Amino acid sequence: MSKDREFLWRRLHSLLGIIPVGLFLTMHLFINFTATGGAESYNDATAVMEKIPFLILVEWIVIYIPLMFHAFYGVYIAFTATPNTGRFSTYRNWMFSLQRFTGVFLVIFIAWHIFQTRIQKALGTHVDYDMMANIVANPFMLGFYIVGILSATFHLSNGLWAFLVSWGITQSPQAQKIATYVTNIIFVILSVVGIAAILAFA
């Protein structure tokens, strides 16, 4: 692959990770957060989403296709990257390695989550509060989902920091330092929302 083409693929990978994948993740977490208000609150929120016109087409164009490109190209990046945490154990180097690790883990987690929800829906299972409650009633699955949520919120927040740098939005060390604080706050907020949501099902 030529360097120019690889540069464009990486830019596209970075962009899709924020828009639309990152935006969808944020929306998904906040919809799930309605479970803290009980089964009726969650079921009402998801029912609104189910009424979107041409939902299957929208899901493929806005979610699945961008997500698959970001995931598969991200795995390629993860296995061709050369982390240097052993030689330069700096904060950013560790974030680099964690970004790759969480990315690979999320491919597995998201595939399983889609299988347990969207594919089961296509097979005739009703996706609602009770379905998620049954899933996380298993302590192993609850732990798996908690790790998955934390991986997703970290991957998004740290990916946002990398996006700001790679797109030239935060160029100075001071701007990158501020972006680190902001993205860490985003990580904490989204993690709290996500964990509260999954525990509400449990």
Residue 60, domain CATH: 1.20.1300.10
Domain count, the chain: 1
The reply to whether the predicted model has a pTM over 0.95 is: no
Q: What is the pLDDT of residue 151?
A: 98
Q: Tell me the residue range of the domain where 39 lies.
A: 3-201
The pLDDT score that the predictor gives to residue 117 is: 93
Looking at residue 72, what is its pLDDT? 94
In the chain, the N- to C-terminal Cα span, in Å, equals 47
Task: For the chain of 202 residues, list the mean pLDDT of each consecutive stretch of 10.
Answer: 81 95 97 97 93 91 96 91 62 90 97 94 89 96 98 98 94 94 98 98 94
Q: Is the dihedral of CA 65, 136, 199, 74 positive or negative?
A: negative
Residues 6+ apart with CB under 8 A from 147: 105, 109
- CB atoms closer than 10 angstroms to residue 81: 12
pLDDT value at residue 24: 96
